[in-house]
Structure 1
Amino acid sequence: MMSELQQTLLLALYREAKPVSLPKLGKQLGLSGSVVMRALATLGDASIAGQPGPGWVRLDMADARWTASLTEAGRIQCAEHDHAA
């Protein structure tokens, strides 16, 4: 089950056409980059405590800067949620 924060972050990423820096995403939502990173980490494909994530978010580091973007699976999830609302 996703938290309200995770849902908000997914929708914010859904509105973006390209990867977004975590500080920028945090600033838009009034959160620190570390809070954003922790909330998004469980939405990627990494295994945490033996449980694989859903693979909806991709976190990348380039030039010492973290960015987040939705995977195709994440876009589908958001589109389905958007149509259900």
Structure 2
Amino acid sequence: MHDDAPLSTRILQELATAPEGGGMSLPRLGKRLGLGASVLMRELTLMGDATIGGVRGPGWARVVQLDERWVAYITPVGREQLSADPR
């Protein structure tokens, strides 16, 4: 992983290491990236497909709550973005 890569790329790189169809808990993702949960949630919100300020997000990742845990997943569109990113 390249530390000079945009945060979204670094998140996608980490999420891509999860088994196919598997996600990564926010605490684990935060530990691997050295970031807090609030920073991750802000970035993951922008990376999702929600409409914010009238602009729909790219849909690279999704976050779901499973019981008490928040889990992030890379989407097929996110995998495409990651493979297209030269970093």
| TM-score in terms of structure 2 length | 0.84
Aligned to 2:17: 15
Q: CA RMSD in A?
A: 1.4
More helix, by proportion: 1
Q: Percent identity?
A: 43
CA separation in 1, counterparts of 2:31 and 2:8? Answer: 15
Secondary structure of the equivalent of 2:59? coil
CA separation in 2, counterparts of 1:23 and 1:34? Answer: 11
Please list every run of at least 4 consecutive aligned residues from structure 1 whose deviation after the TM superposition is greater than 3 angstroms. none
Q: 1:68 aligns with which of 52, 72, 75?
A: 72
Alignment coverage as a number of residue pairs: 81
- Once the two structures are TM-superposed, the CA of residue 36 in structure 1 deviates from its matched residue by 0.8
| TM-score in terms of structure 1 length | 0.86
